[in-house]
Amino acid sequence: MSEAWADSGKRFFLTTPIYYLNGQPHIGHAYTSIAADVLARWKRLAGHKVFFLTGTDEHGQKVAQAAAAAGVSPQEFTDNLAADFRGMAEKIGISFDDFIRTTEGRHKAACQALWQRLADAGQIYLGHYEGWYAVRDEAFYGEDEIEERDGKKVAIASGAPVEWTREPSYFFRLSDWTDRLLAFYEANPDFMAPASTRREVTSFVKAGLQDLSISRTSFTWGVPVPGDPAHVMYVWLDALTNYITAAGYPDTSSPNWDFWPANVHIVGKEITRFHCVYWPAFLMAAGLEPPQRVFANGWLTIEGQKMSKSLGNGLDPLVLAEEFGLDPLRYYLLREVPFGNDGDFSRRAVIGRLNSELANDLGNLANRVLSLIAKNCEGRLPALTEPTEADRALLGPVEALPALVDDAISRQAFGEALERIWTVVRLGNSWIDGQKPWALRKTDADRMAAVLRSLHTALRTLATVLQPFMPETMAAMLDQLGVGQGARALSDLATPLADGTELSAPVPLFRKIEETA
Ligand code: MSP
């Protein structure tokens, strides 16, 4: 098992998108953050030095308009909402190491330093922008990317209304980067995932890139352009820079700078163009390393319907966590949909998985084993013995599990990781039924003890690898299994628990939920 965690001590920097402060956080935001959180927790468990960044995207026209609609200043508006987003992240167990707000001084300094570097490299020129802009997407669109729907011009990709914009603007020489980006993608096959993202982005770049407007003069809620404060920076240049701000930029002697380049940016699929095209181009143009990977998650619908402000169906993660429990909610979000695909959130499916996979498969297995140990072994962990062939049938897959989970999580295949884990949960259930430790009590007490010890080993491994997905419940499970706080990392699995460890009486880990109409 040691081979999988040989990288232990290595730095791992991962990020969520920074969320626009134009409304309350909803389950779509929670989805991306929970996935990133599982990855962060997994890497910590594997012994990496993790830097997990999340935060809020506070500038731009979209946020300025939302503040105006609320009748407050953008600063007051964003101060309030940023606190809501931060509070939400904390309440859903997001174990971030830094929460960045783009209105912070450190961020303004980083944006201006990056701008200056691009300008010094001859990558910026002053011109005039004339074209379509969608405030909702904070994106410029070409004539071929818009269409008319119900008498209104909208962006084809997102359906967001576009308006004709004409103003003086600084441009970034993105057109210089077409070939270098394609060469970069070619040399770094893991840079973009899933495959659909890689295909879409590559064909967008192959079609040829145009210079990008990177400043605006028609509003002021943004980072002023150095030397020309009539302009504020384009909100995406500002937003993307957050990732290096948090790594200490422009102070490249800061200890945090050792974390750059980021190992992975987790983003929604609608913002891959910004992360996979503009961002590496800005960085390479500034002489900085691009991130190693961008993983795009799909979109969640609610009971089959698109989440939208007008439908008012942007579910509040805290209400859901209240109803189902936070850990079952986290489990469901990563189990139901292969990460990277679009998927649906449905109450029925949550309840179905909670009852069958959590309460029945895992909860009952733990409860049966721990009750048998409490009843038949005086609540003490039976001694380790030489495994028989029957034991090997269980312990072989148990020992192989952490490396398989590591491989899946390192590819952001969270659903596959859970499927691997559940293969062992199901094996545990069929194995206990076959071994019948309750019947061995009278006929062969030694074998009963050995069987229970093998099952305990299986449960310990399961609870250990499941910690990133369900931190609270697995902490309780490890408590019940007698695994001390300091012995819960992947590398600790190599050290067996002491024979005779006292175990507390089992308490059910999951409650079943009645299905209501
Ligand atoms: N501010 C930009 C990102 C800047 S990153 C340098 C932004 N913000 S956002 O708040 O509109 O969306 C952020 C992310 O929330 C999306 O990329 C996506 O990951 C997540 N989601 C928002 N709604 C979602 C769903 N309905 N389903 C899944 N994820 C969704 O874009």
Residue 78 has pLDDT above 60, yes or no: yes
* Ligand 1 pocket test, candidate residues 14, 15, 16, 19, most atoms within 8 A of CB: 19
Query: Is residue 31 domain-resident?
Result: no
Residue 270 CA: nearest ligand 1 atom is 17
Q: Is residue 486 part of a domain?
A: yes
At 313 the pLDDT is: 67
- For residues 70-89, give the mean pLDDT: 97
The pLDDT value recorded for residue 315 is 86
415 lines ligand 1 (CB under 6 A): no
Residue 362 belongs to a domain: yes
Protein residue with least CA distance to atom 13, ligand 1: 19
* Residue 99, in any domain of the structure: no
Q: Calculate how far, in angstroms, residue 89's C-alpha sits from the geometric centre of ligand 1.
A: 14
Structural domain range at position 379: 352-494
CA of 298 to the centre of ligand 1 (A): 10
Closest CA to 247 of 232, 235, 262, 234: 262
Q: What's the pTM?
A: 0.96
Closest residue by CA, ligand 1 atom 29:
28
In this structure, which residue's CA is closest to atom 19 in ligand 1? 268
Question: 17 CA to middle of ligand 1, Å?
Answer: 7
Whether 414 has a pLDDT exceeding 90, the answer reads yes
Half-sphere exposure at residue 327, Cβ-oriented, CA atoms within 13 angstroms: 19
User: Which atom of ligand 1 is closest in space to residue 239's alpha carbon?
Assistant: 6
Question: 489 CB under 6 A from ligand 1?
Answer: no
As given in the structure block, the two tokens for residue 481 are: 């299994």
Give the chain's radius of gyration (CA, Å): 26
- How confident is the model at residue 515, as a pLDDT? 76
How many domains, the chain?
Answer: 1
Given pLDDT bands bounded at 50, 70 and 90, which one contains residue 504? confident
pLDDT of 1 reads 41
Q: Is 60 in the pocket of ligand 1 (CB under 6 A)?
A: no
The verdict on residue 103 lying in a domain is: no
Q: Which residues contact 55 (CB under 8 A, 6 or more apart)?
A: 18, 19, 98, 99, 100, 101, 102, 242, 246
Is a pLDDT exceeding 70 seen at residue 133?
yes
Average pLDDT over residues 403-412: 98
Q: Are strands 124-134 and 163-172 parallel, antiparallel or unpaired?
A: antiparallel
The pick from 16, 24, 31 for probing ligand 1's pocket by mutation, whose C-beta has the most ligand atoms within 8 angstroms, reads: 31
Residue 234: is its pLDDT beyond 90?
yes
* CATH number of residue 385's parent domain: 1.10.730.10
Q: Sorting pLDDT into bands at 50, 70 and 90, what band is 517?
A: low
pLDDT tens-place string over residues 318-347: 999 999 999 999 999 999 999 999 999 999
pLDDT at 3: 46
What is the model's pLDDT at position 323? Answer: 92
* Interval 391-400: pLDDT, tens: 999 999 999 9
The token pair at 483 is 């695994």
Distances (CA, A) of 232 to 78, 170, 236: 18, 10, 11
- Note the pLDDT tens digit of each residue in 419-437: 999 999 999 999 999 999 9
Domain-embedded: residue 151: no
Distance between CA atoms of residues 204 and 141, nearest Å: 13
Ligand 1 centroid to residue 500 C-alpha, Å: 50
The response to whether residue 299 sits with its C-beta less than 6 Å from ligand 1 reads yes
The pLDDT assigned to 311 comes to 62
- How far is the C-alpha of 247 from the C-alpha of 210, rounded, in Å? 30
CB 174 within 8 A of CB 211: yes
Cα–Cα dist 377/397, whole Å: 26
Whether 223 maps to a domain, the answer reads: no
Q: What average pLDDT does range 499-517 have in this prediction? A: 89
**Residue 23 in tokens:** 């409304």
User: Which atom of ligand 1 is closest in space to residue 271's alpha carbon?
Assistant: 17
Q: How confident is the model at residue 290 (pLDDT cuts 50, 70, 90)?
A: very high
Beta carbon of 19 within 6 Å of any ligand 1 atom: yes
Name the residue at shortest CA distance from atom 20 of ligand 1.
29
Q: What is the pLDDT of residues 340-361, one digit of tens each?
A: 999 999 999 999 999 999 999 9
Which band of pLDDT confidence, cut at 50, 70 and 90, is reported for residue 306? confident
Confidence of residue 2 (pLDDT cuts 50, 70, 90): very low
| Average pLDDT of span 375-389 | 97
pLDDT value of residue 88: 96
Domain membership flag for residue 152: no
